[in-house]
Amino acid sequence: MFALDDSISDEILFAMENQELDYMVEAETGAVVALNDDALDSAFGSLEEGDDLIAPPEWTSGDGYALMEAFAAGVGDPIAKNGLYAALERGRGVFKAFKKALEPYEALERRWFDYKRAAMAKRVGEWYDQARVARGLERLGPEPDEADDLLSGDFSFRVAGREAWPECVPLFRRGLDEALSSFPESLVEYEYTRLEREISEGGREGLVLAIAEAMGGALAGIAAARKVFVADGSFGKLAYLYVAPEHRRLGLGRRLAEAARERLERDGIPRFVVDMPFVPSGFGSSMAAFGYEPFGTRYIKTGD
């Protein structure tokens, strides 16, 4: 089985996107050959009978459209975002229109190419491991259930202090609007007033913000934790956690909560409590099977 390096990966990525030709990959060398291109007949003709050929990963126009849609959802600039959405509403020529809509935004265009390449390279990596397993070889990449490390390809993560809170407020307000659509107004107002107080009591030095940013620049999720001092003891408390609906079920909430906890632990605060309402459905141990609706959860993790 060939070793998957950047050069071979690039050739496979090209073959995935070319919808006009049919390609195969030679398992021993990684050579990519076209089956129906007269210009490459010599390459295909050089293969011997019995050579082990593998069809490259499938990549359809539907995959490409879904990728553009996901990227556009994460764009922070509202003007750029509207332009991308307008391009996506076109029927014929949607891919060219999307590329054209990106051209005025050089940094965003670079993010798109990085995002697209990372997504397709991930598909190639999965395909490569499947091919190895089919030939009795060990996987080289992560197991399919090791999703946490794969998040890095779609999001950037950072931990900040109170100075970053103003940029988190729009997502905080979005969480408020979502809560108002699901729970009684008086209850939501009470809880959000308490949440804002919890966050403000973190003070300048006591508030820890874990932030996930989509490749397009928009905030995808935030976790706000604060240091609590009682008598001669202290603990960390996750005061707020919110992940935008379009980015849920990817493990972002857990990743953000852990990032906040780890920062507090490095600051000498090993106990961490999660005690808040309005966490996304499925976060933690769900009581849905017993007829409960998610409203509040309590967890503690200690490094003692």
Chunked into runs of 10 residues, the chain (304 residues) has average pLDDT values of 89 88 88 70 49 87 88 86 92 91 92 86 89 87 47 79 92 91 88 89 85 86 90 86 81 84 90 75 46 52 61
CA–CA gap between residue 170 and residue 217 (Å, rounded): 14
Domain identity same for 134 and 273:
no
Indicate the number of domains in the chain: 3
Q: How many C-beta neighbours within 10 Å does residue 281 have?
A: 10
Domain endpoint, select from 85, 111, 141: 141
- What is the pTM (predicted TM-score) of this model? 0.60
CA–CA gap between residue 74 and residue 260 (Å, rounded): 22
Domain identity same for 39 and 106:
no
Contact partners, residue 258, CB within 8 Å, separation at least 6: none
Domain endpoint, select from 94, 117, 141: 141
Is 294 contained in some domain? yes
Is 149 contained in some domain? no
CA–CA gap between residue 9 and residue 248 (Å, rounded): 30
Domain identity same for 205 and 269:
yes
Domain identity same for 282 and 192:
yes
Which residue carries 């240091």 as its tokens?
227
Domain identity same for 49 and 65:
no
Domain identity same for 72 and 22:
no
Domain identity same for 30 and 97:
no
> Sign of torsion, CA 193 198 204 209?
negative
Domain identity same for 67 and 183:
no
Is 1 contained in some domain? no
Domain that holds residue 241: 154-301
CATH number at residue 211: 3.40.630.30
Domain identity same for 98 and 44:
no
Domain identity same for 295 and 166:
yes
Domain identity same for 213 and 279:
yes
Domain identity same for 173 and 292:
yes
Is 148 contained in some domain? no
Is 208 contained in some domain? yes
Is 72 contained in some domain? yes
Is 212 contained in some domain? yes
* Residue 31 to residues 1, 51, 285, Cα–Cα distance (Å): 11, 12, 48
